[in-house]
Amino acid sequence: MGTGRRSLTTAALALACAVTVLATSGAAHASVTAPTPPPAPLPASTPQSLKELEEIREKLDELYHDAAVATDAYNAAEEKSERQSAEIVELAREIVEGRAKLERLKDRAGAAARAQYRTGGLPPEARLWLSDDPEAFLEGAGRVRQGEQATQGLLGELTRTQQDLEQYSADASAQWKQLEANRKAKAEAKKKVTKQIAAAQKLESQLEKDERERLAELEEEAARKAQTAWLGSGVLDDAKGQATTGGKKAVAFATAQTGKPYQWGAEGPKAYDCSGLTSQAWLAAGRTIPRTSQEQWRQLPRVDVEDMRPGDLIIYFDDASHVAMYIGDGAMVHSPRPGRTVTVAGAGSMPILGVVRPDK
């Protein structure tokens, strides 16, 4: 809280003290003068204090917006880490199986080499002349040729298996490096999230109860003005989109979470962040979508705002740092920010970047 508000509070206290002194003095001379009427109550907020609260509201919006951006970065790093961990596990399984296969191939190759050694290493022509049964030898020679071809195939398979193992190992090494990079990115994003939220909470904690209430009123007033202007633009005048079966399921899931707290990085069931709510709602409807609002905006099919239908996702702000689910009649459900709960609000109460459709 700035010095301007403290000055206002000090001035108000001084005025109240002065009024009390005057009232006491008037009571001492009640026999000769009429009692001094009680002073009129001071206005709840002066224009200057309202301006100050508006500046605080804007600062809080900025801090929570930056926290939302950092939360998206954290969620993206978390999603990548989980995917890479699964890929590393799969590579490890392939390496184990590849090594076992390689050992079996080596055993077979060794057996083939020993069989060839037992023939004495003589060329086929010499073995024919030395054979007591040339016809039986020729039949055996055919089997030998088949064996030689099989041996060549065996050696080729052994070589390919060895190459696969080398590639698996290289892929696993690369995934480990990327996993470590994403862990660092996740840790850095976590620091930013907690820093921004702590700054916002500290700013709010410096307000008196009546100031916090007035601040909440200012937030609601700003949302109402934005929603009124959005509806007044006629953007939904011709909207006739009907929810699909999947859309109805997603909306039912999302609206059933109202009242649950916002928690950054959360995907339920007790708390959600904005994209955690929308991704889980569509998962409940049988469709997997990207985890973060930015990836939802980047990967999902886009539709015009005037064509949106219940179940579509509304992406907010130029950096796609917030997402909500449209539920119809100009309303949406979302998990707003720390200190708030999942709630239904006007779809136009924040700057809309665009709309995406998970089941297009």
Residue numbers annotated as active site: 274, 322, 334
Burial category of 135 from C-beta neighbours within 10 Å (exposed 0-12, middle 13-18, buried 19 and up): exposed
Q: How many residues does the chain have?
A: 360
Token output for 231: 């509806």
- The candidate with the shortest Cα–Cα distance to 295, out of 64, 78, 72, 65, is 72
Contact 316, 351 (CB under 8 A): yes
Contact 172, 91 (CB under 8 A): yes
What are the start-end ranges of the E strands in the chain? 302-303, 313-316, 322-328, 331-334, 343-346, 352-356
3-state DSSP call for residue 234? coil
Residue 40 to residue 36: CA distance in whole angstroms: 12
The DSSP annotation for 14-67 comes to: HHHHHHHHHHHHHHHTTTTSPPPPPPPPPPS--HHHHHHHHHHHHHHHHHHHHH
- Dihedral sign, Cα of residue 78, residue 83, residue 85, residue 88: negative
Residue 151 to residue 147: CA distance in whole angstroms: 6
